[in-house]
């Protein structure tokens, strides 16, 4: 076996297991909250104080899911590197930007928000600042500092999807299905992006639209898991 074949097998194996861990993380995320229920600020603060552990755990799971999804996408881009090297490079750059964008709010949720909640519940000079910061980092508002990074990350997913969809469609059936899912997500997200920029999409509708589009990412994850598994079987039989 050549060094290039060994590298291909290693990447395919890593991408396959990333897909498996991602699916498990997605199932696990159902059991953890990612934000306090809507309501008065005082009620939200009480909720955070009582549920900060579950809140942090929920975002740890989200961090794992994001990193493993990046692993699946990186393995996907690797499949088209020879036929479309420029598209692969730009897609990889977009994927890297998405990881940076996504990791910032997740780190804030894991690191900063528990400390903000603690500071706001004590009588100190930091209490007022903590309360202001928590309102700025509200995960439920599409225009907050917190969620702005998330939407930037999804935009980069859209760019990635548009770049790899066409070359990926030339491969196997499972890769074609993944290409359709990635291309459709990329197209729809850019339509949403244009709608927000032109004021055609109301602020209250951004979250539901983005969440609905996010379901499309399950298509390439599952399809590429099948693809990676097939490549590994072919390598073991060779």
d(CA 215, CA 201): 20
Indicate the number of domains in the chain: 1
Query: Residue 229 has what pLDDT?
Result: 92
Task: Give the H/E segment covering residue 14.
Answer: helix 3-29
pTM listed for this prediction: 0.90
Full domain range(s) for residue 192: 3-237
Among 134, 123, 107, residue whose Cα is nearest residue 45 = 134
Q: Are 142 and 149 in contact (CB under 8 A)?
A: no
> If DSSP codes are grouped into helix, strand and coil, which group holds residue 37?
coil
Task: Give the H/E segment covering residue 119.
Answer: helix 113-120
Q: Are 182 and 167 in contact (CB under 8 A)?
A: no
Note down pLDDT in tens along the chain; length 238 residues: 567 788 888 999 999 999 999 999 999 999 999 888 887 777 888 888 888 899 999 999 999 999 999 999 999 999 999 888 999 999 999 999 999 999 999 998 898 888 888 887 776 667 777 777 777 777 777 777 788 899 999 999 999 999 999 999 999 899 999 999 999 999 999 999 999 989 898 888 888 888 889 899 999 999 999 999 998 888 777 6
d(CA 15, CA 108): 27
DSSP labels for 201-213? S-HHHHHHHHHHH
Query: Residue 42 has what pLDDT?
Result: 77
Query: Residue 124 has what pLDDT?
Result: 67
Question: Sign of the C-alpha dihedral, residues 101, 37, 130, 62?
Answer: negative
Task: Give the H/E segment covering residue 92.
Answer: helix 85-107
Residue 216 zone, left/alpha/beta (φ > 0; ψ -120 to 50; rest): alpha
Q: What is the largest CA-CA distance in the chain?
A: 68
């Amino acid at each position: 076996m050549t060094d290039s074949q060994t590298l291909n097998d290693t990447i395919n194996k890593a991408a396959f297991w990333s897909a498996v861990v991602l699916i498990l993380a997605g199932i696990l995320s159902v059991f953890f909250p990612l934000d306090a229920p809507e309501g008065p600020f005082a009620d939200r603060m009480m909720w955070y104080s009582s549920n900060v552990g579950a809140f942090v755990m929920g975002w740890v799971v989200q961090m794992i899911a994001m990193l493993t999804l990046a692993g699946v996408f990186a393995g996907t881009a690797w499949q088209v590197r020879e036929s479309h090297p420029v598209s692969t490079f730009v897609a990889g750059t977009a994927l890297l930007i998405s990881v940076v964008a996504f990791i910032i709010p997740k780190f804030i949720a894991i690191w900063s928000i528990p400390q903000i909640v603690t500071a706001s519940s004590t009588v100190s000079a930091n209490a007022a600042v903590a309360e202001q910061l928590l309102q700025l980092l509200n995960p439920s508002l599409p225009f907050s500092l917190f969620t702005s990074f998330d939407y930037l990350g999804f935009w980069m997913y859209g760019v990635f999807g548009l770049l790899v969809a066409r070359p990926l469609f030339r491969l196997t059936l499972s890769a074609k299905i993944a290409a359709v899912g990635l291309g459709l997500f990329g197209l729809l997200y850019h339509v949403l992006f244009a709608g927000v920029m032109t004021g055609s999409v109301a602020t209250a509708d951004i979250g539901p639209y983005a969440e609905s589009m996010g379901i499309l990412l399950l298509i390439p994850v599952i399809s590429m898991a099948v693809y990676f598994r097939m490549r590994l079987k072919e390598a073991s039989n060779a």
